[in-house]
Amino acid sequence: MMDKYSLLHKIGIYFSIALFLLFMLLPFVEMFLASLRPLTHLFSRPQLEVGETLSFVDFMSRFWSDKMSFQAYRDMWVTVPQLPRYIFNSVFLSTAVTLISLCFVVPAAYAYARFNFRGKSLSLTLFLAVNMFSGAVLLIPLYKLLRSYGLLNTYWAMIIPGVAFLVPTGIWLLKSFLEKIPYELEEAAFVDGASRLYTLRRVILPLAVPGLVVVGVAIFIGAYAQQFLFAITFNQNRDYMPLPAGIFEFIGYQTVLWNEMMAASLVGILPVLLIFLFMQKHLIAGLTSGAVKE
Amino acid sequence: MKQFIEMFKPKTKAQTTTLFAWALIAPAALVMFWIVVWPLYETFRLSFTNSNLGTLMSGADYIGWENYEKALGGRKFPAIVGRTFYWMFLSVGFKMILGLIGAALLASNIRARGVIRALVMPPWIVPIAIGCFGWLWMYNGHFGILSNFAEMAGITDGPFSFLAYKQSAFYSAVVTDVWIGTPMVTLFFLAAMQGVPKDLYEAAYVDGASRWYRFRRITLPQIMPTIVSMALLSAIWTFNSFEIIWILTEGGPRGATTTLIIDTFKTAIFSYKFGAGATRAVLVVLILGVFSVIYLTVLGRLSKKYSYSGAQK
């Protein structure tokens, strides 16, 4: 009864949703359409007489053409021969950040989920306070730090800061997962004489696999998203550039190859989009579990 | 020596637990010290020196408050701080409103809810830089969809380059920032809304409360804790937002989109004035810290006064 809508309500709801989705997805649609059009069409404008305004047909013809093809998806590898390398770098960097982060996140999250100890809430707050600093604030000393270790212009220059800024969020997410694993299971293992580390390895970890996967995916997506800043400041070696920084090569001195740039962007976001598509149900449930009261 | 070690051996069970817990946390804590806490201290120290490209080898000199006097007394500085706060309030405001509307729509009893929810997410999933490339193309004056649409609809007389004029560049950057930030806000509000006990709505419905009344008097107070924390998080991130502005305008035209973070980056990395840049970084941290404390205190007072946190239990 309560959830029934009148026809007018229904139309209103679906119309609003359509508008909302239009805002969220228009850039992607336009990126895709631009990637299909030849450059000559991208850079053409209907010839208007003085005082004449752009008609609807003219407007549509700007975004639709008979000459649409996937040519840009072939040409882009020629224009920027390093492109496969950039995509590989992006995926590699995110994977490395994810795996290394998890090594730090798992033990810490377990400690926060299971034990009451001195300094618990204070240290947890301090971890979360790290979220207040963007990498941009710490760039100067980080630059000096990485330089003194000779890590500038290596993969590490992008991995290390990436890990540092994702560990706190990871701890927070995994903690709420681990809290849901019943303590009795651990106690049973204890009674049977298992050590704490053995329990962590053989009892908790297997049960925590779904949570670990979600947290891992969340870190991966975060790492994939935040490569740009660290890449443009800490790395000048083209061999190690991730995609978001590499895409700038489509911007030439004379002209911007918009169609190939959009094609490369869309291909570049495919890895995260695919992972998100497969994981979205678990991911959304996992990310928001803190927001829902139990 | 043996006695010394004995002194630190845990004696009670609680002490053993504390020791074990800290041993587990130590690796993560050490990384934080190395990559966040120490650089933070170092930023603070650098802000009192004249460190720049020339002093990298010889070592920088301590110059006291000079950097701060220059930054705070600078002609442009008040404008930059004002702009940063305007940018933050405007963008966060839109994110909250759009997020609430989006979440309310998705929480309604409609078909294909899961699919629609997944379709809202991409701006957030996709690397910020790549989303910005898309907007860069859309804002293009001659060939972008927005300029062409405005022309067709008769809003503008001819091609309009959104990023070429001071005002339009600023608001264009806000739109892109809202676009990137809204999905997450929507998602968290939706999750909070779905966590509101159903019987509250049913009781209100039986009493004849309208849909709008139920939203205002049940949904909003119930999800208020989520709104409060999302607003703060979102404010901090928006304040710190770098990539969006950098890719769209690099802080231009003529400084119209230069926020504190952009100013910090420009000073430190582009002009190699590490000391002066560090000063701005310290100011960012201070301003955000003060802002967070005021925000939480004010909200704490308000929530006591109106006791909407009673819904929190």
A39 is a domain residue? no
Residue-wise burial string across A45-58, b where 16 or more C-beta atoms lie within 10 A, e elsewhere: eeeeeeeeebeeeb
A51 is a domain residue? no
Q: Do A247 and B182 touch (CB under 8 A)?
A: no
List of chain A residues whose C-beta atoms are within 8 Å of the C-beta of residue B129 = 227-228, 244-245, 247
Domain count, chain A: 1
Asked if A97 has any chain B CB less than 8 Å from its own CB, the reply is no
pLDDT category at B311 given cuts 50, 70, 90 is very low
Q: Do A26 and B138 touch (CB under 8 A)?
A: yes
CA–CA–CA angle B4, B5, B9 (5° rounding): 125
- Nearest CA distance, A2 vs chain B (angstrom): 7
Interface test with A, best of B31, B37, B43, B130 (most A CBs within 10 A): B130
- Nearest CA distance, A251 vs chain B (angstrom): 11
Given a cut of 70, is residue B9 above it in pLDDT?
A: no
Q: Which pLDDT value is given to residue B5? A: 65
The percentage of residues in chain B with a pLDDT greater than 70, rounded to a whole number, is 91
Tokens representing B94? 């839109």
Q: Among A108, A117, A233, whose Cβ lies nearest the Cβ of B269? A: A233
Cα–Cα distance between B235 and B228 in angstroms, integer?
11
Given a cut of 80, is residue B85 above it in pLDDT?
A: yes
Asked if A141 has any chain B CB less than 8 Å from its own CB, the reply is yes
Which range of residues forms the domain containing residue A196?
A: 83-288
What pLDDT, in 10s, does the model give residues B152-179?
Answer: 777 777 777 888 888 889 999 999 999 9
Cα–Cα distance between B250 and A1 in angstroms, integer?
54
Identify the CA nearest to A14 among candidates B39, A6, B199. A6
Q: Among B24, B32, B242, whose Cβ lies nearest the Cβ of A127? A: B32
Q: Which pLDDT value is given to residue A145? A: 86
pLDDT in tens, chain A (294 residues): 566 778 888 888 889 999 999 999 999 988 888 888 877 777 776 666 656 666 777 777 777 777 777 877 887 887 778 888 898 999 999 999 999 999 999 989 988 888 888 888 888 888 888 877 777 788 888 888 888 888 888 899 889 988 988 898 889 888 888 888 887 877 888 788 888 778 877 887 788 888 888 888 889 988 888 888 888 888 888 888 888 888 887 877 677 788 888 888 898 888 888 888 888 877 777 777 655 443
Q: Which pLDDT value is given to residue B4? A: 65
Q: Which pLDDT value is given to residue A294? A: 39
Tokens representing B89? 């309030």
Given a cut of 80, is residue B222 above it in pLDDT?
A: yes
Cα–Cα distance between A162 and A95 in angstroms, integer?
11
Given a cut of 90, is residue B143 above it in pLDDT?
A: no
Q: Which residue has the higher pLDDT, B261 or A67?
A: B261
List of chain B residues whose C-beta atoms are within 8 Å of the C-beta of residue A40 = none
Cα–Cα distance between A244 and A226 in angstroms, integer?
9
A187 is a domain residue? yes
Chain A residue closest in CA terms to B177: A24
List of chain A residues whose C-beta atoms are within 8 Å of the C-beta of residue B203 = none
Q: Indicate the SS3 state at residue B109.
A: coil
List of chain A residues whose C-beta atoms are within 8 Å of the C-beta of residue B35 = 138, 142, 145, 160-161, 163-164
Which residues in chain A (226-285) have CB-CB distances under 8 A to chain B? Answer: 226-229, 233, 243-245, 247, 258, 261-262, 265, 268-269, 272-273, 276-277, 280-281, 284
Tokens representing B53? 């490209």
Cα–Cα distance between A12 and A141 in angstroms, integer?
53
Q: Which residue has the higher pLDDT, B222 or B89?
A: B89
Q: Which residue has the higher pLDDT, B241 or B97?
A: B97
List of chain B residues whose C-beta atoms are within 8 Å of the C-beta of residue A119 = 18, 22
Asked if A27 has any chain B CB less than 8 Å from its own CB, the reply is yes
A136 is a domain residue? yes
Q: What topology does CATH give the domain B75-312?
A: MetI-like fold (1.10.3720)
Q: DSSP per residue over B204-273, as a string?
A: HHHTT--HHHHIIIIIHHHHHHHHHHHHHHHHHHHHH--HHHHHHTTT-STTTT--HHHHHHIIIIIS--
State the CATH number of the domain containing residue A108. 1.10.3720.10
Q: Which pLDDT value is given to residue B178? A: 95
Question: Mean per-residue pLDDT for B262-287?
Answer: 85
Query: pTM above the 0.90 mark?
Result: no
A284 is a domain residue? yes
A279 is a domain residue? yes
Chain B residue closest in CA terms to A119: B18
Q: Among A108, A227, A265, whose Cβ lies nearest the Cβ of B28? A: A108
Of A67-81, B53-67, B83-97, least confident by mean pLDDT is: B53-67
A30 is a domain residue? no
Q: Which pLDDT value is given to residue B175? A: 94
Asked if A138 has any chain B CB less than 8 Å from its own CB, the reply is yes
Q: Which residue has the higher pLDDT, B159 or B232?
A: B232
Domain ranges of chain B: 75-312
Half-sphere exposure of A256 (CA within 13 A, CB side): 16
Q: DSSP per residue over A58-98, as a string?
A: HHHHHH--TT--SHHHHHHHHHSTTHHHHHHHHHHHHHHHH
